[in-house]
Amino acid sequence: MKFDIISIFPDFFQSPLACGIVRIAQEKGIIEVHVIDPRSCAPDSKVDDYQFGGGAGMVMKPEPLLRSIRKTVGKNSRLIALTPRGIPFNQNMAKALSSEDHIVIVCGRYKGIDERVITLCKPEEISIGDYVLSGGEAAAFVLIEAITRLLPGALGNRDSAESDSFTTPLLEAPRYTRPNSYRRHTVPAVLRNGNHAHIARYRRKMAIEQTLERRPDLLPYETFTMQDLNILLEVMNGKNSRHKTR
Ligand code: SAM
Protein backbone atom coordinates (compact mmCIF):
# COMPACT_ATOMS: atom_id res chain seq x y z
CA MET A 1 0.00 0.00 0.00
CA LYS A 2 1.25 3.46 -0.83
CA PHE A 3 0.62 6.54 1.34
CA ASP A 4 1.22 10.04 0.01
CA ILE A 5 1.04 12.73 2.68
CA ILE A 6 0.65 16.34 1.64
CA SER A 7 2.15 18.46 4.40
CA ILE A 8 4.16 21.65 4.82
CA PHE A 9 6.12 19.91 7.60
CA PRO A 10 7.73 16.83 5.99
CA ASP A 11 10.28 16.65 8.85
CA PHE A 12 7.46 15.94 11.28
CA PHE A 13 7.23 12.38 9.92
CA GLN A 14 10.90 11.40 10.19
CA SER A 15 10.80 9.95 13.69
CA PRO A 16 7.33 8.29 13.70
CA LEU A 17 8.00 6.63 10.34
CA ALA A 18 11.30 5.30 11.67
CA CYS A 19 9.77 3.42 14.64
CA GLY A 20 8.02 0.13 15.38
CA ILE A 21 5.48 -1.52 13.11
CA VAL A 22 5.43 1.30 10.56
CA ARG A 23 9.20 1.11 10.10
CA ILE A 24 9.10 -2.68 9.82
CA ALA A 25 6.20 -2.54 7.33
CA GLN A 26 8.26 -0.20 5.13
CA GLU A 27 11.32 -2.46 5.38
CA LYS A 28 9.21 -5.48 4.40
CA GLY A 29 7.79 -3.55 1.43
CA ILE A 30 4.24 -3.75 2.82
CA ILE A 31 3.85 0.03 2.80
CA GLU A 32 5.56 2.92 1.09
CA VAL A 33 5.22 6.45 2.50
CA HIS A 34 6.04 9.68 0.68
CA VAL A 35 5.61 13.24 1.90
CA ILE A 36 4.93 16.04 -0.57
CA ASP A 37 5.52 19.60 0.57
CA PRO A 38 3.01 21.94 -1.11
CA ARG A 39 5.75 24.59 -1.04
CA SER A 40 7.40 22.66 -3.86
CA CYS A 41 4.22 23.33 -5.87
CA ALA A 42 4.13 27.07 -5.10
CA PRO A 43 6.28 29.25 -7.39
CA ASP A 44 6.93 31.71 -4.53
CA SER A 45 6.86 28.99 -1.80
CA LYS A 46 3.87 30.79 -0.28
CA VAL A 47 1.31 28.32 1.07
CA ASP A 48 -0.89 30.54 3.24
CA ASP A 49 -2.60 33.91 3.09
CA TYR A 50 -5.00 36.17 5.00
CA GLN A 51 -8.67 35.23 5.28
CA PHE A 52 -11.30 36.99 3.23
CA GLY A 53 -13.72 38.59 5.67
CA GLY A 54 -10.98 39.15 8.23
CA GLY A 55 -10.30 37.27 11.43
CA ALA A 56 -7.27 35.86 13.18
CA GLY A 57 -5.31 33.12 11.50
CA MET A 58 -4.04 32.36 8.02
CA VAL A 59 -5.64 29.95 5.55
CA MET A 60 -3.82 27.46 3.32
CA LYS A 61 -3.91 28.68 -0.27
CA PRO A 62 -5.72 26.48 -2.80
CA GLU A 63 -3.21 26.43 -5.69
CA PRO A 64 -0.23 24.69 -4.00
CA LEU A 65 -2.54 22.12 -2.41
CA LEU A 66 -4.43 21.45 -5.64
CA ARG A 67 -1.18 21.05 -7.58
CA SER A 68 0.15 18.64 -4.92
CA ILE A 69 -3.08 16.66 -5.05
CA ARG A 70 -3.04 16.52 -8.87
CA LYS A 71 0.56 15.30 -8.78
CA THR A 72 -0.26 12.41 -6.47
CA VAL A 73 -3.85 11.29 -6.96
CA GLY A 74 -4.46 8.58 -9.56
CA LYS A 75 -7.54 6.70 -10.75
CA ASN A 76 -7.50 4.29 -7.82
CA SER A 77 -6.45 6.65 -5.03
CA ARG A 78 -8.47 7.42 -1.89
CA LEU A 79 -8.14 11.11 -1.15
CA ILE A 80 -8.53 12.12 2.50
CA ALA A 81 -8.46 15.60 4.05
CA LEU A 82 -7.94 15.80 7.79
CA THR A 83 -10.23 18.22 9.57
CA PRO A 84 -12.04 18.46 12.92
CA ARG A 85 -15.35 18.62 11.03
CA GLY A 86 -14.74 15.25 9.33
CA ILE A 87 -16.25 11.84 10.03
CA PRO A 88 -14.75 10.50 13.29
CA PHE A 89 -12.07 7.91 12.52
CA ASN A 90 -12.54 4.45 14.00
CA GLN A 91 -11.36 0.85 13.67
CA ASN A 92 -13.97 -0.01 11.01
CA MET A 93 -12.68 2.84 8.84
CA ALA A 94 -9.10 1.67 9.38
CA LYS A 95 -10.18 -1.84 8.32
CA ALA A 96 -11.96 -0.55 5.20
CA LEU A 97 -8.99 1.65 4.24
CA SER A 98 -6.57 -1.25 4.72
CA SER A 99 -7.85 -2.78 1.46
CA GLU A 100 -6.86 0.25 -0.61
CA ASP A 101 -3.73 0.43 -2.81
CA HIS A 102 -3.09 4.14 -2.55
CA ILE A 103 -4.14 6.70 0.05
CA VAL A 104 -3.41 10.42 -0.25
CA ILE A 105 -3.75 12.40 2.98
CA VAL A 106 -3.95 16.20 3.02
CA CYS A 107 -2.79 17.87 6.25
CA GLY A 108 -4.09 21.33 7.03
CA ARG A 109 -2.34 23.97 9.17
CA TYR A 110 -3.26 27.42 10.49
CA LYS A 111 -7.06 28.05 10.33
CA GLY A 112 -7.36 25.20 7.85
CA ILE A 113 -7.48 24.85 4.09
CA ASP A 114 -9.28 27.02 1.53
CA GLU A 115 -12.77 25.57 1.09
CA ARG A 116 -12.34 25.41 -2.70
CA VAL A 117 -9.87 22.54 -2.28
CA ILE A 118 -12.73 20.56 -0.74
CA THR A 119 -15.25 21.71 -3.35
CA LEU A 120 -13.00 20.85 -6.28
CA CYS A 121 -11.42 17.59 -5.08
CA LYS A 122 -14.19 16.20 -2.88
CA PRO A 123 -11.87 14.37 -0.46
CA GLU A 124 -13.24 12.24 2.34
CA GLU A 125 -13.03 14.50 5.36
CA ILE A 126 -11.84 12.65 8.46
CA SER A 127 -11.40 13.78 12.05
CA ILE A 128 -9.43 11.90 14.69
CA GLY A 129 -11.49 13.27 17.57
CA ASP A 130 -13.37 16.19 19.04
CA TYR A 131 -10.41 18.43 19.75
CA VAL A 132 -8.28 20.75 17.64
CA LEU A 133 -4.65 20.07 16.74
CA SER A 134 -2.37 22.67 15.21
CA GLY A 135 -2.00 20.58 12.08
CA GLY A 136 -3.03 17.36 10.36
CA GLU A 137 0.39 15.69 10.64
CA ALA A 138 -0.23 13.88 13.95
CA ALA A 139 -3.66 12.84 12.66
CA ALA A 140 -2.12 11.54 9.41
CA PHE A 141 0.22 9.33 11.39
CA VAL A 142 -2.70 8.04 13.48
CA LEU A 143 -4.39 6.87 10.27
CA ILE A 144 -1.20 5.37 8.83
CA GLU A 145 -0.41 3.38 11.96
CA ALA A 146 -3.98 2.16 12.51
CA ILE A 147 -4.21 1.03 8.87
CA THR A 148 -0.71 -0.46 8.62
CA ARG A 149 -1.09 -2.76 11.61
CA LEU A 150 -4.07 -4.38 9.84
CA LEU A 151 -2.13 -5.20 6.66
CA PRO A 152 -1.15 -8.85 6.17
CA GLY A 153 2.39 -9.50 7.41
CA ALA A 154 2.76 -6.17 9.23
CA LEU A 155 2.35 -7.61 12.72
CA GLY A 156 4.14 -10.61 14.07
CA ASN A 157 2.65 -12.71 16.85
CA ARG A 158 4.27 -10.35 19.35
CA ASP A 159 1.79 -7.61 18.44
CA SER A 160 -1.21 -9.68 17.33
CA ALA A 161 -4.22 -7.55 16.36
CA GLU A 162 -7.00 -10.10 16.35
CA SER A 163 -7.83 -9.82 20.05
CA ASP A 164 -7.46 -6.04 20.18
CA SER A 165 -10.21 -3.73 21.36
CA PHE A 166 -12.69 -2.78 18.59
CA THR A 167 -11.67 -5.77 16.40
CA THR A 168 -14.88 -7.15 17.78
CA PRO A 169 -16.99 -4.29 19.16
CA LEU A 170 -15.77 -5.11 22.69
CA LEU A 171 -12.81 -3.73 24.62
CA GLU A 172 -9.95 -6.11 25.24
CA ALA A 173 -9.64 -8.07 28.49
CA PRO A 174 -6.76 -7.00 30.81
CA ARG A 175 -3.38 -8.57 29.99
CA TYR A 176 -0.56 -9.57 32.37
CA THR A 177 3.07 -10.59 32.03
CA ARG A 178 5.75 -11.70 34.46
CA PRO A 179 6.31 -11.42 37.38
CA ASN A 180 3.34 -13.40 38.67
CA SER A 181 3.23 -11.34 41.83
CA TYR A 182 4.04 -7.64 41.86
CA ARG A 183 3.61 -5.41 44.91
CA ARG A 184 1.22 -7.97 46.40
CA HIS A 185 -0.94 -8.01 43.23
CA THR A 186 -1.08 -11.48 41.74
CA VAL A 187 -2.02 -12.47 38.19
CA PRO A 188 -5.49 -14.17 38.16
CA ALA A 189 -4.97 -17.91 38.71
CA VAL A 190 -7.10 -18.88 35.70
CA LEU A 191 -4.49 -17.33 33.36
CA ARG A 192 -1.81 -19.58 34.79
CA ASN A 193 -3.58 -22.94 34.86
CA GLY A 194 -3.06 -23.76 31.16
CA ASN A 195 -6.75 -24.55 30.57
CA HIS A 196 -7.45 -22.76 27.28
CA ALA A 197 -11.23 -23.04 27.53
CA HIS A 198 -11.17 -21.47 31.01
CA ILE A 199 -8.81 -18.73 29.84
CA ALA A 200 -11.03 -17.95 26.82
CA ARG A 201 -14.13 -17.78 29.05
CA TYR A 202 -12.35 -15.55 31.58
CA ARG A 203 -11.16 -13.17 28.87
CA ARG A 204 -14.61 -13.05 27.30
CA LYS A 205 -16.11 -12.23 30.69
CA MET A 206 -13.56 -9.51 31.37
CA ALA A 207 -14.07 -8.02 27.89
CA ILE A 208 -17.83 -7.87 28.47
CA GLU A 209 -17.36 -6.45 31.98
CA GLN A 210 -14.90 -3.75 30.87
CA THR A 211 -17.09 -2.77 27.93
CA LEU A 212 -20.18 -2.62 30.13
CA GLU A 213 -18.34 -0.43 32.63
CA ARG A 214 -16.41 1.86 30.29
CA ARG A 215 -18.10 1.85 26.88
CA PRO A 216 -21.67 0.53 27.19
CA ASP A 217 -22.43 2.27 23.87
CA LEU A 218 -20.42 -0.49 22.11
CA LEU A 219 -22.41 -3.43 23.49
CA PRO A 220 -25.35 -3.27 21.03
CA TYR A 221 -22.89 -3.92 18.16
CA GLU A 222 -21.65 -7.21 19.62
CA THR A 223 -23.25 -10.56 18.77
CA PHE A 224 -23.84 -12.48 22.00
CA THR A 225 -24.09 -16.28 22.21
CA MET A 226 -26.20 -18.27 24.69
CA GLN A 227 -23.00 -18.86 26.69
CA ASP A 228 -22.49 -15.11 26.83
CA LEU A 229 -25.87 -14.73 28.53
CA ASN A 230 -24.54 -16.68 31.53
CA ILE A 231 -21.44 -14.51 31.52
CA LEU A 232 -23.59 -11.36 31.36
CA LEU A 233 -25.64 -12.61 34.32
CA GLU A 234 -22.44 -13.28 36.29
CA VAL A 235 -21.16 -9.79 35.45
CA MET A 236 -24.46 -8.16 36.42
CA ASN A 237 -24.69 -10.16 39.68
CA GLY A 238 -21.08 -9.24 40.50
CA LYS A 239 -21.90 -5.59 39.95
CA ASN A 240 -25.06 -5.77 42.09
CA SER A 241 -23.30 -7.48 44.99
CA ARG A 242 -20.49 -4.90 44.80
CA HIS A 243 -23.05 -2.10 45.01
CA LYS A 244 -24.77 -3.73 48.01
CA THR A 245 -21.55 -3.95 50.03
CA ARG A 246 -20.79 -0.24 49.50
N1 SAM B 1 -10.09 26.19 12.21
C2 SAM B 1 -10.26 24.77 12.14
C3 SAM B 1 -11.55 24.37 12.84
O4 SAM B 1 -11.93 25.02 13.81
O5 SAM B 1 -12.13 23.36 12.47
C6 SAM B 1 -9.12 24.06 12.81
C7 SAM B 1 -7.84 24.18 12.07
S8 SAM B 1 -6.52 23.32 12.83
C9 SAM B 1 -5.81 24.53 13.83
C10 SAM B 1 -5.38 23.09 11.55
C11 SAM B 1 -5.42 21.73 10.88
O12 SAM B 1 -5.16 20.72 11.81
C13 SAM B 1 -6.72 21.34 10.23
O14 SAM B 1 -6.87 21.92 8.94
C15 SAM B 1 -6.61 19.84 10.17
O16 SAM B 1 -5.89 19.40 9.04
C17 SAM B 1 -5.80 19.52 11.40
N18 SAM B 1 -6.64 19.05 12.53
C19 SAM B 1 -6.86 19.71 13.69
N20 SAM B 1 -7.64 19.00 14.50
C21 SAM B 1 -7.92 17.86 13.86
C22 SAM B 1 -8.70 16.73 14.19
N23 SAM B 1 -9.35 16.62 15.33
N24 SAM B 1 -8.78 15.72 13.29
C25 SAM B 1 -8.13 15.80 12.11
N26 SAM B 1 -7.37 16.85 11.74
C27 SAM B 1 -7.28 17.88 12.61
163, part of any domain: no
Do residues 134 and 188 both lie within one domain?
Answer: no
Q: Which atom of ligand 1 is nearest to the CA of 126?
A: 25
Please give the model's pTM, rounded to 2 decimal places: 0.95
Q: What is the pLDDT of residue 7?
A: 98
Ligand 1 centroid distance, CA of 86 (Å): 9
CB atoms within 10 A of CB 217: 9
Q: pLDDT (tens digit, 9 = 90+) per residue, 167-220?
A: 999 999 999 999 999 999 999 999 999 999 999 999 999 999 999 999 999 999
pLDDT in tens, 45-103: 999 999 999 999 999 999 999 999 999 999 999 999 999 999 999 999 999 999 999 99
**Same domain as 53, residue 133:** yes
Mean of pLDDT values over 217-235: 94
Give the residue whose CA is nearest to atom 22 of ligand 1: 84
For residue 131, which atom of ligand 1 is closest to its CA? 23
- What is the reported pLDDT for 79? 98
Over the stretch 19-40, which tens digit does the pLDDT of each residue have? 999 999 999 999 999 999 999 9
Residue 76 sits in the same domain as residue 137: yes
What are the pocket residues of ligand 1 if the criterion is a CB atom closer than 6 Å to any ligand atom? Answer: 82-85, 107-109, 111-113, 127-129, 131-136, 139
Cα(132) to centroid(ligand 1), Å: 5
The verdict on residue 98 lying in a domain is yes
User: Residue 135 CA: which ligand 1 atom is closest?
Assistant: 12
137 and 31 both lie in a single domain: yes
Q: What is the CATH number of the domain that holds 201?
A: 1.10.1270.20
Residue 243's pLDDT band (cuts 50, 70, 90): low
**What is the atom index within ligand 1 of the atom nearest the CA of 107?**
16
The span from the CA of 148 to the CA of 98, in Å, is 7
Q: Do both 18 and 75 map to the same domain?
A: yes
| 131 occurs within a structural domain | yes
Q: How confident is the model at residue 242 (pLDDT cuts 50, 70, 90)?
A: low
Domain annotation covers residue 170 = no
Q: Which CATH number do you get for residue 21?
A: 3.40.1280.10
Burial of 95 (0-12, 13-18, 19+ CB in 10 A): middle
Distance from Cα 107 to the centre of ligand 1, integer Å? 8
Any domain includes 167: no
Give residue 76's domain range: 2-158
Domain count, the chain: 2
Please give the distance, rounded to the nearest whole angstrom, from the Cα atom of residue 59 to the centre of ligand 1: 12
